[in-house]
Structure 1
């Protein structure tokens, strides 16, 4: 969901909250999986600019990769009477308590990569289509044989979508051996480097086709 889409969502919600806006600006609550991660930073900046242009105030809570903290953050925004809430990446299935609180308060929740379900009002779609051409190129380069290190993150719906796609595409390439390591957010750069170094140490140069 880009800034333009957020602007449309916020503008539509603003119309329904016009009486309240006459006294106080409506609040857009953003629950980020990692507010300092580069993609999250860009998204938050775009959403904030669009919301403020539409006359809203914005509050961001960093859930630090924790679904429990994400639920608490959504409940916090519900108790504060937010006009709308954005869930960044957490799957709708892992934020049930937060969604219930928002639903009880009559507050719409949209997700960036969290999927559609439960009481989620809108989402920006799956992360899989973007990954497909990259995976296709990697499999072509491996030529049906070799070893692959996959760095996974199952707390995030976008990453789940991409892992499912990878697994599905690998079914027709039985000659490729896959190792999976789960990274944390925050901390995925450090985890990724640690897992990659260990994996490369056990797969020296000349040990067949390799990919990460």
Structure 2
């Protein structure tokens, strides 16, 4: 079944650090010993939207008497599988995996299933052993639609992709579907993680040399907004203000870049709400036992551009902190 959670879902109360309210660092246990433990497999621990999802899940977990462990895998699927297996061996009561495609964590899922540990996935997709996951389709489609509306049917686009990340892959699928209906000329480049900002800077600088100022309708799209920091750096270095820029996820720097006029639009993804909803669903799944049917949670994103950025920040002050 699919649970649709509207964009009006209230933000979860913020806690001091992404990993936990007690100030733990990745790999440490938060709070006092409790009856249940959640093991979190972070994709990139210092990534803003990863932190927000962790914060949302941690808040709900601690409110329900759980303790939380966080491991930063730095984008390594091998490390994610190893961490899930370790958590299963430790006897955690649930595992939250962020970003990794569920098809890439088969070993970890097998270990969790063998130990009877339910798994929730932030954006990884459905798979055997996963009791709930979030969908990235709505956010990707909102970004693609905003881009096409701004760019029109003709022009040149640089698209920075990242296929190992399931969120990025889903966002790109929506992007590809939208631009396929236009005459836009697309150049694709795959960013490197870690090093996404520098990778984006290099690709942008190279693309700009072949797209001189004043000779076209230009745009750059990235499947999440950390590479946008590299994109804007390259644009500043080249003195270019004629290139429209688009991204997703809506971290604090991304939204502030829209406010300053450096970025055309970003789709804010309510990651904290998603993390909270996943944790709430995990608790429900454990209570339901064998009668539980896997769920896909959908929470709409918000397109933030020059027309609404000030109102958005006023309504969601935590989004820029």
Same fold (TM over 0.5): yes
Structure 1: 5+ residue stretches without partners: 5-22
Could you list the structure 1 runs, at least 4 aligned residues long, displaced by more than 4 angstroms after superposition.
Answer: 1-4
Q: Does 1:138 align with 2:138?
A: no
Confirm or deny: 8 A CA contact 1:89 1:158 kept in the other structure: yes
Confirm or deny: 8 A CA contact 1:146 1:210 kept in the other structure: yes
Q: SS of the counterpart of 2:175?
A: helix
Cα deviation, residue 137, structure 1? 2.5
2:36 matched residue in structure 1: 26
RMSD over equivalenced CA pairs, Å: 1.9
Q: Does 1:118 align with 2:93?
A: no
| Greater helix content | 1
Q: Equivalents in 2 of 1:134, 1:158: separation in Å?
A: 13
Q: Equivalents in 2 of 1:207, 1:85: separation in Å?
A: 51
2:195 matched residue in structure 1: 187
Structure 2: 5+ residue stretches without partners: 13-32, 221-321
2:61 matched residue in structure 1: 51
Comparing 194-203 and 155-164, the one that deviates more:
194-203
Q: SS of the counterpart of 1:203?
A: coil
Comparing 175-184 and 54-63, the one that deviates more:
175-184
1:84 matched residue in structure 2: 94
Q: SS of the counterpart of 2:45?
A: coil
Q: Equivalents in 1 of 2:88, 2:142: separation in Å?
A: 40
Residue-by-residue CA offset, 1:21-80 (whole Å, 9 max, x unaligned): xx9532100001001111111221222222112111111011101111111110110010
Q: SS of the counterpart of 2:112?
A: helix
TM-score by length of 2: 0.57
Q: SS of the counterpart of 1:150?
A: strand
Q: SS of the counterpart of 1:29?
A: strand
Cα deviation, residue 167, structure 1? 1.2
Gap change, CA 1:116 and 1:76, over 3 Å in 2: same
1:11 matched residue in structure 2: none
Confirm or deny: 8 A CA contact 1:33 1:185 kept in the other structure: no
Cα deviation, residue 122, structure 1? 0.4
Q: Equivalents in 1 of 2:66, 2:133: separation in Å?
A: 20
